[in-house]
Chains A and B, each alone.
Chain A
Amino acid sequence: DTGVSQDPRHKITKRGQNVTFRCDPISEHNRLYWYRQTLGQGPEFLTYFQNEAQLEKSRLLSDRFSAERPKGSFSTLEIQRTEQGDSAMYLCASSKVQGLQYTYEQYFGPGTRLTVT
Chain B
Amino acid sequence: QQPVQSPQAVILREGEDAVINCSSSKALYSVHWYRQKHGEAPVFLMILLKGGEQKGHDKISASFNEKKQQSSLYLTASQLSYSGTYFCGTAQTGANNLFFGTGTRLTVIP
Q: Which residues of chain A have a CB within 8 Å of any CB of chain B?
A: 4, 31, 33, 35, 40-45, 48, 50, 55-56, 91, 100-111
Chain A at the B interface: SS class? loop
5 residue pairs from A and B, CB less than 8 Å apart: A33-B97, A41-B103, A101-B29, A102-B96, A108-B34
CB of A48 within 8 A of CB of B96, answer yes
CB of A43 within 8 A of CB of B44, answer no
Q: Which residues of chain B have a CB within 8 Å of any CB of chain A?
A: 2, 29-30, 32, 34, 40-44, 47, 49, 87, 89, 91, 93-103
Q: Which residue of A lies closest to B46 (CB)?
A: A105
Candidate in A42, A45, A56 with the most chain B CB atoms within 10 angstroms: A42
CB distance from A12 to the nearest CB of B (A): 17
A40-B40 CB under 8 A given contacts A102-B91, A102-B96: no
CB of A107 within 8 A of CB of B100, answer no
Number of A-B residue pairs with CB-CB distance less than 8 Å in the complex they form: 66
Cα–Cα distance between A111 and B42 once the two chains are bound (Å) = 10
Those 6 A-B pairs whose CB atoms lie nearest each other, nearest first: A42-B100, A108-B41, A102-B91, A105-B44, A42-B87, A43-B100
Residues from chain B with a CB closer than 8 A to the CB of A35 are 100
A102-B41 CB under 8 A given contacts A45-B98, A48-B96: no
CB of B93 within 8 A of CB of A101, answer yes
CB of B44 within 8 A of CB of A45, answer no
CB of A48 within 8 A of CB of B97, answer yes
Cα–Cα distance between A40 and B47 once the two chains are bound (Å) = 23
Question: Given A42-B103, A103-B91, 14 other A-B contacts at CB below 8 A?
Answer: A41-B103, A42-B2, A42-B101, A43-B100, A55-B96, A101-B93, A102-B30, A103-B30, A103-B47, A103-B49, A104-B47, A106-B32, A106-B98, A108-B34
Contact of A40 among B43, B95, B100, B102 (CB under 8 A): B102
CB distance from A97 to the nearest CB of B (A): 8
Q: Which residue of B lies closest to A103 (CB)?
A: B30
Contact of A102 among B43, B97, B103 (CB under 8 A): B97
Residues from chain A with a CB closer than 8 A to the CB of B41 are 4, 91, 108-111
